[in-house]
Amino acid sequence: MDIRNICCIGGGYVGGPTMAVMALKCPDIQINVVDINKERINNWNDKDLSKLPVYEPGLAEIIMKCRGKNLHFSTKVREMIEIADMIFISVNTPTKTKGIGAGKASDLKWVENSAREVATFSKGHSIVVEKSTLPVRTAEVIQSILNSSQNQTKPDYENKSFDVLSNPEFLAEGTAIDDLLNPDRVLIGGDNPEAIKSLRNIYKRWVPDRKILETNIWSSELAKLTANAFLAQRISSINTIAALCESTGADVREVSRAIGKDSRIGSKFLDSGPGFGGSCFKKDILNLVYLAEYFGLPEVANFWNNVVSINYWHQHRISKIIIKKLFGSLSGKKIGILGFAFKANTNDTRESSAIQICKDLLEEGALLTIHDPKVEKNKISKDLPEESFDPNTWDVLDSVEKTLKNTHAAVLLTEWSDYSNLDWDNLAKKMVKPAWIFDARSIVDKTKVLDAGLNLWRIGDGSI
């Protein structure tokens, strides 16, 4: 099957960058990204590239090169499905908030909706590719929705047929373009070798053949959840060790370095921080927990649930340390928050530890000034909603200096490189004495902070 026209439903953090790279590498394929969110599409089409809905290093350059040539963004879901040979489903799959599985299971309504649209509008043979991270056996749901369209006596019923593939995305935000250009592996799950080959041929244009793995569809779906669960588990593990380091005089950076040298353990994902955030880790683990419960494996469910519980505990632990060091009360005290994104090089705040920690501090009566190089105030307003947090108790400022002026403490929550070389001598003069620096990312220069006469708490550092 020769693919000439691709449609991607969902132009978010995954769909946008993934299709941009595909367009760059496949100039002979027309790629249409469709989204029901008109504002998002307008932003993808904006001449001013700083308005793109997703900030990723290298993305704007690719958009500039391909947009209007073989990469198009629109809200024309029907039209683009009609002409597509291959349709990627890249819509969001949030955790269900009500009904069976609430708080754990994924809400598949958008995926179902997309499958129905494909069933209704597609013509001829279509390969439907699951790009969104989905619970195991979702392909079955998609397939049955697609099949149902074949039972309807529509004029083009005779010509409609489908293959469903799973092709999970492993990109991480902030490094999305590099991850897409040089993936560790591309995973394709499915049962029709012809359909798999069509997708493989697309990736083969820039990914070495040996890195393209084929599995059955359920393994592919489960591998994505498992990869995220293992990564998150490492972070929860090292964060528990950080707490132990603080109590024993050990230093978690040294422990990480020592264990990371063991090639069986490896050195990545061993940085203790304020807890993991991002749209995927918590959602995917809870999904795994739900699946384990559903299949009657409560011990498995418990094991993975603890990875998430430890993450909450760890975030609150940091808030409690701040309160304790500031003499047990934050009432009326000003605290500067440096970093709100869930990690550096992204404007994404989903599940950011900064949200939980800011909420804890506001509940204790603190007044917050917040700085982040990429996150805008309107996003933070959604994370600290007016109904729960008086907007007069927090503000967003555009420089570190303004953010820390007259504060009792600075709390570093995102590892932006801008924060690693701050002039602490100068900043100390602007803060209220005795001032504290709480570095949850191990990013500040310890000596410079201490030499500036500031008190320092650093994650997992029992030596201070």
Interface positions with ligand UDX (CB under 6 A): 9-15, 35-37, 40, 90-93, 110, 113-114, 132-133, 169-173, 228, 231, 235, 269-271, 273, 276-281, 342-343
For the CB of residue 87, give the shortest distance to ligand UDX in the complex, in Å: 12
Q: Which is nearer to ligand UDX, 190 or 460 (CB)?
A: 460
Q: Which is nearer to ligand UDX, 80 or 428 (CB)?
A: 80
For the CB of residue 451, give the shortest distance to ligand UDX in the complex, in Å: 28
* CA gap 171, 288 in Å, rounded: 20
Q: Are 173 and 346 in contact (CB under 8 A)?
A: yes
For the CB of residue 405, give the shortest distance to ligand UDX in the complex, in Å: 27
SS (H, E, C) the chain: CCCCEEEEECCCCCHHHHHHHHHHHCCCCEEEEECCCHHHHHHHHCCCHHHCCCCCCCHHHHHHHHECCCEEEECCHHHHHHHCCEEEECCCCCECCCCCCCCCCECCHHHHHHHHHHHHHCCCEEEEEECCCCCCCHHHHHHHHHHHHHHCCCCCHHHCEEEEEECCCCCCCCCHHHHHHCCCCEEEECCCHHHHHHHHHHHCCCCCHHHEEEECHHHHHHHHHHHHHHHHHHHHHHHHHHHHHHHHCCEHHHHHHHHHCCCCCCCCCCCCCCCCCCCCHHHHHHHHHHHHHHCCCHHHHHHHHHHHHHHHHHHHHHHHHHHHHCCCCCCCCEEEEECCCCCCCCCCCCCCHHHHHHHHHHHCCCEEEEECCCCCHHHHHHHCCCCCCCHHHEEECCCHHHHHCCCCEEEECCCCHHHCCCCHHHHHHHCCCCCEEEECCCCCCHHHHHHCCCEEEECCECCC
Q: Which is nearer to ligand UDX, 225 or 428 (CB)?
A: 225
Catalytic residue among 8, 66, 280, 358: 280
For the CB of residue 193, give the shortest distance to ligand UDX in the complex, in Å: 26
Q: Are 350 and 375 in contact (CB under 8 A)?
A: no
For the CB of residue 401, give the shortest distance to ligand UDX in the complex, in Å: 25
Return the residue nearest ligand UDX (CB atom): 12
Q: Is 7 a catalytic residue?
A: no
Q: Which is nearer to ligand UDX, 269 or 430 (CB)?
A: 269
Comparing CA positions, the residue from 431, 432, 426 lying closest to residue 451 is 426
For the CB of residue 167, give the shortest distance to ligand UDX in the complex, in Å: 12
Q: Which is nearer to ligand UDX, 336 or 339 (CB)?
A: 339
Q: Which is nearer to ligand UDX, 210 or 268 (CB)?
A: 268
Provide the b/e sequence for 4-15 (b: ≥16 CB within 10 Å): ebbbbbbbbbbb
For the CB of residue 210, give the shortest distance to ligand UDX in the complex, in Å: 20
* CA gap 143, 192 in Å, rounded: 13
Q: Which is nearer to ligand UDX, 28 or 39 (CB)?
A: 39
Radius of gyration of the chain (CA): 24
Q: Which is nearer to ligand UDX, 274 or 330 (CB)?
A: 274
For the CB of residue 423, give the shortest distance to ligand UDX in the complex, in Å: 25
Which positions are annotated as active-site residues? 280
